[in-house]
Amino acid sequence: AQKITQTQPGMFVQEKEAVTLDCTYDTSDPSYGLFWYKQPSSGEMIFLIYQGSYDQQNATEGRYSLNFQKARKSANLVISASQLGDSAMYFCAMREMHMNNNAGNMLTFGGGTRLMVKP
Amino acid sequence: GAVVSQHPSRVICKSGTSVKIECRSLDFQATTMFWYRQFPKQSLMLMATSNEGSKATYEQGVEKDKFLINHASLTLSTLTVTSAHPEDSSFYICSAARGQTEAFFGQGTRLTVV
């Protein structure tokens, strides 16, 4: 079974509007972390936001916020006031902490969502 | 600024030659680094876990003799694609974790084998 699922292969959003990118995950580990990355056409992976499984509040970083619903195992990324420069691939990833070794630091990625911002 | 640096960003090589890709953590020590491969329009696929001072751990289906990994110091891991063939053409990207809540990536290397 997929550990990280991003059901939207592509999305359009009008400039200045908000958009939500979906991410659901599957783990039996009580301790885990969820990451979102942006990958523009240049290929670099840009870290956006992090949410820990024990964090009480939803993470926010500027225009990015994470709608963390633990019971539903979802960690959707919300981008407010979209800009043309937000057009890129977005990846959701998870790190499971139960492994008491360095392998526990590896990230498992979802399939990604291509976001296209329309002027 | 970048905390993980990867070089080269782009390389074209002839079939049968070897290519070395470097991944450096710039301002922190990384006992573990990760190497990923990404095909066009697809997600990142973990190839191997690079451990400082010990052998790398390869994911199933990844040939360790084809993709040699050396983690010689706490700030440097190298991936060598040996006897490269056109099917090895891909985007390779490394990652290093800083604590449990941060994972930084290099800029990636686009390898083209002709």
Residues 34-53 of B with CB under 8 A from A: 34, 38, 42-44, 46, 49, 51
- In whole numbers, what is the pLDDT of chain A averaged over residues? 92
d(CA B29, CA B59) in angstroms, rounded, equals 24
In this predicted structure, the answer to whether residue A103 has a pLDDT above a threshold of 80 is no
**Amino acid identity at B28:** F
Return the pLDDT at A2. Answer: 72
- CA–CA min distance A72, chain B (Å): 22
Percentage of chain B with pLDDT > 70? 98
Q: Which residue of B has its CA nearest to A42?
A: B107
Return the pLDDT at A68. Answer: 97
Cβ-based contacts of B51 with chain A (< 8 Å)? 102
Buried b vs exposed e over A37-56: b needs ≥16 C-beta within 10 Å?
bbbeeebbbebbbbbbbeee
Q: A46, A105, A109, A114: which to substitute to probe chain B, counting the most B Cβ within 10 Å? A: A105
Return the pLDDT at A35. Answer: 96
pLDDT, one tens digit per residue, over B76-93 is 999 999 999 999 999 999
Residue A49: pLDDT band by 50, 70, 90 thresholds? very high
- CA–CA min distance A111, chain B (Å): 5
pLDDT, one tens digit per residue, over A56-67 is 999 999 999 999
- What residues of A are in the B interface, CB distance below 8 Å? 33, 35, 37, 42-45, 47, 50, 52, 91, 93, 95, 97, 102-103, 105-112
Which of the residues in chain B have pLDDT under 70? 1-2
Using CA of residue A28, residue A29, residue A33, residue A38, what is the dihedral sign? negative
Q: Average of pLDDT values for A61-75?
A: 97
Of B107, B98, B114, B100, residue with least CA distance to B36: B107
Of A113, A115, A44, A40, residue with least CA distance to A75: A113
- Establish if B11 touches chain A: CB-CB under 8 angstroms: no
- Judge: B103–A102 Cβ closer than 8 Å, yes or no: no
